[in-house]
């Protein structure tokens, strides 16, 4: 599509086909809206696409991180290593599951956790690592899983940005321990809100399956159907984290479109990289040296405030004044009041993440964006910098 100059061009927008809309309507008309056959079908499709062992659809990735971490049965004082350059849910769910988040600074270029610095952060209390595949660029998983094996750690990958990402020819989800995907509308595919846990661990899968629906045993799922029993047992206190069929109806049409979405995201990202290459105002995202396919969830360069003659907030305001949306992914998580107050984090603790936190801007990137839309973004940036 092409946005007119008078229209606000958002930084992200989901692509929802007419077939997907028809499927949601069919679901509504079927009389079965919540968890049922479409969720089952979506879970099967996720398993096939990712190549994972078990697939569990949920109400969000936050729910998935919570339940996957809860399944580790952390004890008070247990530590979980993660990145400060992530969405707050990554740290929040570690705390909610009873763990202490231990942060390791990121590497330049990819803004992913610096795997070479993880070992120094491991203590006798470390139980797990939660790597975040930032913007859909895979973390260096071979050495990370090597460390996990050596120190007997679990790995819960925050793969919210990484459905469709490949690492050394293997899809995220096809190998390793546990992965958590998000289907929030800004992510590479959407179910409205939604998420999924993919895991090779049968016990973790059983824990998540139970905890996502009140702790009811399995037979409870179709207790209103003809084959179902009216009775159920509660075998653990659970949550209400199930995905609805109405959401899965969308997902069933999003998943087959994903590789096409990634192809278009990649074209647009390449155009940004080429067209902005010589601009002193930007430090462009870098790629790791190992073979990979990034999912291009975000195109998030760093603004150089000296060369730009303005800080990031002013840049974003100027773009908004020109009807163009931008976003921040993310502010360094350790500097939020809760994490400062509870764990004593301070400015200076993770200098790379802090620099990125102050300078990063997500520019518009979504599959429906036309070349002309992107040219408008680039022209607006040229105008903003020319007038600085
Ligand atoms: C979006 C996101 C989440 C949370 O996903 P929801 O589905 O919105 O709960 C977690 N981690 C990262 C890195 C994210 O970008």
Cα 186 from Cα 192, distance rounded (Å): 9
The tokens describing 1, both together, are 């599509």
Beta carbon of 67 within 6 Å of any ligand 1 atom: no
CATH value at residue 115: 3.40.640.10
Whether residues 195 and 137 share a domain: the answer is: yes
Q: Of all atoms in ligand 1, which is nearest to the CA of residue 194?
A: 7
Select from 261, 294, 303 the least CA-distant residue to 12: 261
Does residue 133 lie within any of the structural domains?
A: yes
- Name the pTM for this structure: 0.97
Contacts of 341 (CB under 8 A, 6+ apart): none
Whether residues 251 and 263 share a domain: the answer is: no
Summarize the confidence of residues 228-257 as an average pLDDT: 93
CA torsion 221→222→227→232, rounded to 10°? Answer: 50
Last residue of one domain, picked from the residues 256, 290, 322: 256
Beta carbon of 182 within 6 Å of any ligand 1 atom: yes
The tokens describing 114, both together, are 């610096």
Whether residues 158 and 267 share a domain: the answer is: no
Total domains, the chain: 2
Last residue of one domain, picked from the residues 256, 273, 291: 256
Beta carbon of 89 within 6 Å of any ligand 1 atom: yes
Catalytic residue ranges: 187
Give distance in angstroms: CA of 205 to centre of ligand 1: 20
Last residue of one domain, picked from the residues 205, 225, 256: 256
Cα 316 from Cα 164, distance rounded (Å): 29
Take atom 6 of ligand 1 and give the residue whose Cα is closest: 61
Alpha helices by DSSP H, the chain = 18-30, 37-50, 61-70, 88-96, 141-151, 202-211, 245-254, 258-276, 305-308, 312-321, 337-343, 351-359, 371-386
Beta carbon of 191 within 6 Å of any ligand 1 atom: no
Whether residues 241 and 141 share a domain: the answer is: yes
Contacts of 382 (CB under 8 A, 6+ apart): none
Does residue 232 lie within any of the structural domains?
A: yes
Summarize the confidence of residues 247-275 as an average pLDDT: 98
Q: Of all atoms in ligand 1, which is nearest to the CA of residue 86?
A: 13
CATH value at residue 354: 3.90.1150.10
Cα 274 from Cα 231, distance rounded (Å): 62
Strand ranges across the sheet with 292-293 = 170-171, 166-167, 292-293
Does residue 226 lie within any of the structural domains?
A: yes
Which residue from 182, 197, 300 has its CB within 8 A of the most atoms of ligand 1, so it is best to mutate? 182
DSSP state of 192: S
Does residue 235 lie within any of the structural domains?
A: yes
Does residue 132 lie within any of the structural domains?
A: yes
Average pLDDT, the chain: 96
Beta carbon of 184 within 6 Å of any ligand 1 atom: yes
Mean pLDDT is lowest, of 44-48, 179-183, 226-230, 329-333, for 226-230
Whether residues 373 and 281 share a domain: the answer is: yes
pLDDT score for 220: 52
pLDDT score for 231: 80
Is there a contact between 217 and 235 (Cβ–Cβ < 8 Å)?
A: yes
Q: Of all atoms in ligand 1, which is nearest to the CA of residue 182?
A: 7
Whether residues 34 and 48 share a domain: the answer is: yes
**Domain of 349, in residue numbers:** 259-386
Using the predicted structure, report yes or no on whether residue 88 has a pLDDT greater than 80: yes
234: β partners: 216
Whether residues 242 and 269 share a domain: the answer is: no
Whether residues 236 and 286 share a domain: the answer is: no
Using the predicted structure, report yes or no on whether residue 224 has a pLDDT greater than 70: no
Q: What percent of the chain has pLDDT over 90?
A: 94
Does residue 112 lie within any of the structural domains?
A: yes
CA torsion 99→60→34→204, rounded to 10°? Answer: -40
Using the predicted structure, report yes or no on whether residue 374 has a pLDDT greater than 90: yes
Whether residues 128 and 268 share a domain: the answer is: no
Does residue 11 lie within any of the structural domains?
A: no
Cα 371 from Cα 388, distance rounded (Å): 26
Kindly give the interhelix angle for 371-386 and 312-321, rounded to the nearest 10 degrees. 120
Whether residues 70 and 193 share a domain: the answer is: yes
Whether residues 210 and 337 share a domain: the answer is: no
Whether residues 187 and 135 share a domain: the answer is: yes
- 193 three-state secondary structure: coil
- Cα-based angle 183, 295, 282 (whole degrees, multiple of 5): 115
Does residue 12 lie within any of the structural domains?
A: no
Beta carbon of 132 within 6 Å of any ligand 1 atom: yes
Bridge-based pairing state of the strands 178-182 and 154-158: parallel
């Amino acid at each position: 599509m092409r946005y007119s100059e008078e229209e606000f061009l958002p930084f992200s927008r989901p692509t929802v086909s007419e077939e997907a809309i028809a499927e949601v309507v069919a679901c509504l008309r079927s009389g079965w809206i919540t968890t049922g056959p479409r969720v089952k079908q979506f879970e099967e499709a996720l398993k096939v696409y990712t190549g994972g062992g078990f697939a569990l659809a949920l109400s969000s990735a936050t729910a998935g991180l919570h339940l996957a971490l809860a399944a580790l049965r952390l004890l008070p004082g247990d530590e979980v290593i993660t990145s400060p350059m992530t969405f707050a849910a990554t740290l929040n769910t570690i705390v909610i599951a009873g763990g202490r988040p231990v942060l390791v600074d990121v590497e330049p270029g990819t803004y992913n956790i610096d795997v070479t610095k993880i070992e120094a952060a491991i203590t006798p209390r470390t139980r797990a690592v939660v790597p975040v595949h930032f913007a859909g660029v895979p973390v260096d998983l071979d050495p990370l899983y090597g460390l996990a094996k050596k120190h007997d750690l679990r790995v819960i990958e925050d793969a919210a940005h990484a459905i469709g990402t490949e690492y050394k020819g293997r899809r995220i989800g096809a190998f390793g321990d546990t992965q958590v995907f998000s289907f929030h509308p800004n992510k590479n595919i959407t179910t409205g809100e939604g998420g999924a846990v993919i895991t090779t661990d049968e016990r973790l899968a059983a824990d998540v399956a139970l905890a996502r629906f009140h702790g009811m045993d399995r037979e409870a799922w179709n207790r209103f159907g003809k084959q179902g029993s009216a009775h159920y047992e509660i075998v653990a206190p659970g949550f209400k984290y199930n995905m609805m069929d109405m959401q899965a109806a969308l997902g069933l049409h999003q998943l087959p479109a994903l590789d096409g979405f990634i192809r278009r995201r990649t074209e647009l990202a390449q155009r940004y990289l080429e067209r902005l290459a010589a601009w002193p105002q930007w430090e462009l995202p870098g790629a790791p040296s190992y073979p990979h396919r990034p999912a291009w969830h975000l195109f998030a360069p760093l603004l150089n405030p000296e060369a730009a003659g303005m800080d990031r907030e002013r840049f974003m305001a100027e773009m908004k004044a020109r009807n163009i949306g931008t976003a921040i992914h993310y502010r360094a998580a350790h500097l939020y009041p809760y994490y400062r107050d509870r764990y004593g984090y301070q400015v200076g603790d993770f200098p790379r993440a802090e620099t990125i936190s102050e300078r990063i801007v997500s520019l518009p990137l979504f599959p429906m964006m036309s070349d002309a839309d992107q040219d408008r973004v680039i022209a607006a940036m040229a105008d903003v910098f020319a007038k600085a």
